[in-house]
Amino acid sequence: MAEPESTAHEEGHEAFHLPPPSLWPPVLALGIAFILTGLIVTPVLLVVGIILAVVAFGLWVRAARREFDELPE
């Protein structure tokens, strides 16, 4: 059988970019869980979940945009 060419893949990807760990995705998930629980249990939990989810989403987007701006061309 023929052996795969390893040089073709190495030339196409000089460096992989992985985002750093972030606190905001789990906080957003917690906010969504509060929203869903608040729909059933109490409106107070619903409001807390909405505020938490909106703030976490905004901060996550802000952090991602800053990181994207720092990437080389």
Q: What is the pLDDT of residues 1-60, one digit of tens each?
A: 566 655 555 555 567 777 788 899 999 999 999 999 999 999 999 999 999 999 999 999
**Do the Cβ atoms of 34 and 47 come closer than 8 Å?**
no
pLDDT value of position 60: 93
Residue with the two structure tokens 């990807």: 13
pLDDT value of position 45: 97
Domain map (residue ranges) of the chain: 21-66
Under the banding of pLDDT at 50, 70 and 90, the label for residue 72 is: confident
pLDDT value of position 2: 65
Question: For residue 71, which phi and psi values (nearest 5 degrees)?
Answer: -70, 145
pLDDT value of position 3: 64
